[in-house]
Amino acid sequence: MSIIVITGAEQGLGLELARAYAVGGHEVVAGCLKPDTSDMRALSAEHKNVLVVPLDVTKEGSVAALADRFYNKSADVVINNAGVHFRKWSMPERVSFADWETTLQVNTLGAARVSFALRESLARSGNGKLVTISSDWGSISNHPGTAYDYCSSKAAVNSVMRGIARNWSSDGICVLMIHPGWMRTTMGGADAPLLPGDSAANVKKVIDLAGPADNGRYLDNLGNDMPW
Ligand SMILES: NC(=O)c1ccc[n+]([C@@H]2O[C@H](COP(=O)([O-])OP(=O)(O)OC[C@H]3O[C@@H](n4cnc5c(N)ncnc54)[C@H](OP(=O)(O)O)[C@@H]3O)[C@@H](O)[C@H]2O)c1
């Protein structure tokens, strides 16, 4: 039984990851911007090993409150899943700079804030895994030519996580960045080919199989290397 922390757990991939780990018998701490939804009530009623906690990754106090729950305790897997993606299909030059800032706040700084706050708990695990749900749109070499805001936020979070991978390996922490695939979620839209439950099963397998030699890798949901 491991202790798993998931951010942005109230819908989409985060919800399915929470469900998958709960079914596997793990203790799940599900961080939610809106914790009191019918989905989260149902999940925690069905699985006593799920603890739903309020979490806004952009707020210092909210992340500190999460870290306080882990004072002197270990966290085995921390999954930075919370993400936003605004105005996906408009001309990229018409990006709203306010939305861009929010995107960086959530996708990049939010992931860094949660990671830094839980570093000691991950280290206490002995073989902690710090996982960031990135995107194929975080690849610089394969930039899709749209969504400057979202793409830069994912490329930046990849950069931050590579830095963490260098610095935290001495604590036995394995850092992974995973592209979950194009999923049928609020973010991915109705045309996406992949159900979030199927992606969650794949992502969980990649995490389960990862060991120290995988520290710092950027992978797809089948464990293949993504182009940087
Ligand atoms: N969908 C895709 O095709 C796709 C492809 C590549 C990568 N990804 C990545 O996969 C991850 C999950 O995406 P998804 O498709 O499941 O998206 P989603 O359905 O839109 O869910 C995103 C989750 O993040 C939460 N969130 C947003 N801002 C937050 C904040 N400040 N603090 C805490 N939680 C916050 C949302 O809360 P609310 O429910 O309250 O809004 C929501 O629960 C994201 O990192 C995304 O970038 C998705």
Task: Give the pLDDT confidence of 182-204 residue by residue, as tens digits.
Answer: 999 999 999 999 999 999 999 99
pLDDT at 89: 65
**Which pTM was predicted?**
0.98
**Spatial distance between the Cα atoms of 173 and 207, rounded to a whole number of angstroms:** 12
The single-letter code of the amino acid at 204 is K
Q: Is residue 65 part of a domain?
A: yes
Q: Is residue 228 part of a domain?
A: no
Whether the Cβ atoms of residue 191 and residue 204 lie closer than 8 Å to each other? no
Per the structure, the count of domains in the chain is 1
160 Cβ contact list (under 8 Å, min separation 6): 108, 111, 112, 115
* Number of neighbouring beta carbons within 10 Å of residue 64: 11
pLDDT at 48: 97
Whether the Cβ atoms of residue 64 and residue 52 lie closer than 8 Å to each other? no
- Ligand 1 center to 136 CA (angstroms): 15
157 Cβ contact list (under 8 Å, min separation 6): 80, 107, 108, 111, 112, 132, 134, 138, 177
DSSP state of 25: T
Average pLDDT over residues 134-155: 97
For 16-74, the pLDDT digits (tens) are 999 999 999 999 999 999 999 999 999 999 999 999 999 999 999 999 999 999 999 99
Report the Cα–Cα distance between both ends of the chain, in Å, rounded.
Answer: 34
Average pLDDT over residues 209-224: 98
Q: Is residue 227 part of a domain?
A: no
- Ligand 1 center to 133 CA (angstroms): 9
Q: Is residue 40 part of a domain?
A: yes
Residue nearest to atom 47 of ligand 1 (CA): 83
Atom of ligand 1 nearest to the CA of 57: 32
Assess whether pLDDT exceeds 90 at residue 169. yes
For 77-136, the pLDDT digits (tens) are 999 999 999 986 668 888 999 999 999 999 999 999 999 999 999 999 999 999 999 999
pLDDT at 87: 80
CATH of residue 209: 3.40.50.720
The set of protein residues with a Cβ atom below 6 angstroms from ligand 1 is: 7-8, 10-14, 33-34, 55-58, 81-85, 106, 110, 133, 135, 179-180, 182-183, 185-188, 192, 196
Residue nearest to atom 36 of ligand 1 (CA): 8
Q: Is residue 225 part of a domain?
A: no
Whether the Cβ atoms of residue 215 and residue 175 lie closer than 8 Å to each other? yes
The domain in which residue 10 lies consists of: 3-220
